[in-house]
Amino acid sequence: MSSVIQTGVKAHDDACNKGLVALQAAIAGTPTQPQVNSAYITHYRNCLASAKTNNGGNGLEPFASALRSLGAGGA
Mean pLDDT of the chain: 92
For residue 2, pLDDT beyond 80: no
pLDDT digits (tens, 9 = 90+) for 5-31: 899 999 999 999 999 999 999 999 899
Is there a contact between 41 and 47 (Cβ–Cβ < 8 Å)?
no
What is the DSSP-derived secondary structure letter of residue 59?
Answer: T
**pTM (predicted TM-score):** 0.90
Sheet strands (E) in the chain: none
Q: What percent of the chain has pLDDT over 90?
A: 85
What is the per-residue pLDDT for 36? 95
What is the per-residue pLDDT for 1? 55
